Structure 1
Amino acid sequence: MRGLWRDLTDLVLPTECGGCGAPRTALCPECRAALSGAVPGRVRPVTEPPGLPPTHAAARYADAVRALLLAHKERGALGLCAPLGAALAAAVRSGLREAARDGGRLPGRGAPVLLVPVPSARAAVRARGHDPARRIALAAAGELRRTGTPARVLTALVQRRTVADQAGLDARQRSANLAGALTVVPGAERLLRGGPVVLVDDLMTTGASLTEAARAVTRAAARTEVLPGWAVYEAESREGRGERTTGSQDGEALRTGAGPEMRGTGATGTVVCAAVVAAAPDSLGTNRN
């Protein structure tokens, strides 16, 4: 109900830009350019965790882009979902193009890209009144379909145990906090065979979340003899067109991932890459396209 109320409020009340506070617009031209004006590309944390999928980002997590993501996530600025989803879709396309150059295959008509989101903690979803990553993934899937790339959201991952708040933790602490925290819900292994898998999230800082998601998906793939690959993570909710949802609670999105040995394949059921709206500026500094 809180999410519906926010949606209605956004329609009838004056708003301001989530990035800079400019009046009467949810996203001003300058902040839109900061979010979507750059060419998406490959990003790597300074200390890259083993098993991190090839990850692509649309923007730097700084200044206006940081403000936009926080406005959407923490203040319920739901009018930003569409432009954030469009930015994520651009990062997904960038990852798919790189996978194709490395010998993989772009999805055909019968094999949509499966966007698998990194799951939010249930407590965080309740506190915010919505699941930010899930909403952005839904918007991204819609944008991909609109521009000719078949895509659907698959909520395949859940947290198997409680994790601490990641704020203030360094890269090593984040990896330890998340190790073994995610699992593929029973029955989702079969659904993962429906197309190339892309792990998606709103933000990458140390890469710990995407690495753990990749580990969980890789284990599930091994159990079902799905060929290994790289994953991009994006999620679709019950509201999403063509969604396949398994085991999500409180609107919680699910996450996937894979290891480096899986890179470059694009067959159904394999992890292709990971995509995020934004990445920490130092990870763009080590970008090698």
Structure 2
Amino acid sequence: MRGWWREIAGLVLPVACGGCGRPRTELCEDCRAALCGALPRRVRPTPEPAGLPVVHAAAAYENAVRAVLLAHKERGALPLSRVLGRALAGAVRAGTGRMGSPGPLLLVPVPSSRRAVAARGHDPARRIALAAAGELRRGGMPARVGTVLRQRRPVADQSGLGARQRQANLAGALEVVAGGERLLAAERVVLVDDLLTTGATLTEAARAVDAAGGRGGALSGAGQAAVVAASPSAFEINRNCW
């Protein structure tokens, strides 16, 4: 309900750019270019956790890009999901070229905790994934969103934790929901999150998908195919990879 009120309010109240605050525009051209204007690149955190899938991101997490993500995620600027979805779609296209034979894509968002979703009034990664799937379909690439991952146990707040602490915090925390294995086996899987930092979250998501058999079978005509991951942005720690 909270998300609906935010969307209605955005139609009738004055808006400001989610990146720089410029008045009377949802997102100015300069901030849009910062998010979507560069070619998506492969990014790697330092240190890179074992088991991290190949990750592509559209932009570095800084300045206007950081402001847009925080406006969408924490301040409920829900219309920004459209441009974030466009950026994510570009990262998905960049990452799926290595997946072998063509076929439909299943975008699997990393799940937020129920408490976080309730506090924010929406699920940021899922909302961006839905926008990206629509963008991909309009470009002729079959894609849909599968919310097949869930948290199997509570995890601590990740803010303030280092790379090893995050890995320990998330180890074994995710699982595939009942029936999700069929979706994972039938389509090419792309894990999505709104931000790559240490890579611990995507590593755990990949482990859960792998445990459910989502890396092989119908994903490839000749054996196993890799799960890849995509994000609209990557933390500044990955800057040397751009």
The alignment status of 1:131 with 2:123, answered yes or no, reads yes
Runs of 4+ in 1 over 3 A off after TM superposition: 225-229, 265-272
Contact 2:186 2:217 in 1 (8 A): no
Match in the other structure for 1:210: 202
Displacement of 1:106? 2.6
Provide structure 2 residue ranges, at least 5 long, that are not aligned to the other structure: none
Give me the whole-angstrom Cα distance separating, in 2, the residues matched to 1:88 and 1:105.
21
Contact 1:193 1:268 in 2 (8 A): no
Contact 1:178 1:208 in 2 (8 A): yes
Give me the whole-angstrom Cα distance separating, in 1, the residues matched to 2:119 and 2:44.
31
Give me the whole-angstrom Cα distance separating, in 2, the residues matched to 1:268 and 1:276.
27
Match in the other structure for 1:146: 138
Displacement of 1:13? 1.0
Displacement of 1:286? 3.0
Query: Would the alpha carbon gap of residues 266 and 93 (structure 1) be closer, same or farther in structure 2, given more than 3 Å must change?
Result: farther
Give me the whole-angstrom Cα distance separating, in 2, the residues matched to 1:216 and 1:121.
16
Match in the other structure for 1:106: 102
> What percent of counterpart residues are identical?
65
What secondary structure is seen at the aligned counterpart in 2 of 1:278? strand
Displacement of 1:271? 4.2
Judging by fraction of residues, say which structure has more helix. Answer: 2
Match among 179, 189, 195 for residue 187 of structure 2? 195
The alignment status of 1:27 with 2:21, answered yes or no, reads no
Kindly provide the amino acid, as one letter, of the partner of residue 129 in structure 1. G
Displacement of 1:281? 2.1
Contact 2:92 2:230 in 1 (8 A): yes
Give me the whole-angstrom Cα distance separating, in 2, the residues matched to 1:171 and 1:267.
35
Provide structure 1 residue ranges, at least 5 long, that are not aligned to the other structure: 230-264
The alignment status of 1:43 with 2:43, answered yes or no, reads yes
Give me the whole-angstrom Cα distance separating, in 2, the residues matched to 1:189 and 1:135.
22
Match in the other structure for 1:74: 74
Query: Would the alpha carbon gap of residues 11 and 31 (structure 1) be closer, same or farther in structure 2, given more than 3 Å must change?
Result: same
Displacement of 1:284? 3.3
